Amino acid sequence: MIVRITVQISMSSREICDSVLESLEPDNVEVPKGIIIEMSCHQSIFIVDVKSEDTSVLTARNTIDDVLVHANLALKTLSSIDMR
């Protein structure tokens, strides 16, 4: 079975999006076997695409969870820089 989850998050600027992407480069996120993650910025929209082949739906969901937790951390840090 192939599972595909795409999440799009609107960020406040392209700059923020690129920086979150830098924090999340695929080699920085532990990717389980059978999972392919693609991340990109389209203008200020952060796009995460997780494809799962021959793994459980739960694995794909956990992967996207990990990415989102990581993205949230990066986003909070970057936002706090601008707020100061």
Instruction: Please give the residue ranges that form the binding site for another protein (CB under 8 A).
Output: 15-16, 18-25, 27-28, 30, 70, 73-74, 77-78, 80-81, 84
State which residue, 56 or 79, has the beta carbon closest to another protein.
79
Least distance to another protein, CB of residue 58, Å: 22
Instruction: Provide the b/e sequence for 41-53 (b: ≥16 CB within 10 Å).
Output: beeeebebebbbe
Q: How many CB atoms lie within 10 A of CB 64?
A: 19
State which residue, 19 or 52, has the beta carbon closest to another protein.
19
* Token representation of residue 24: 């999340």
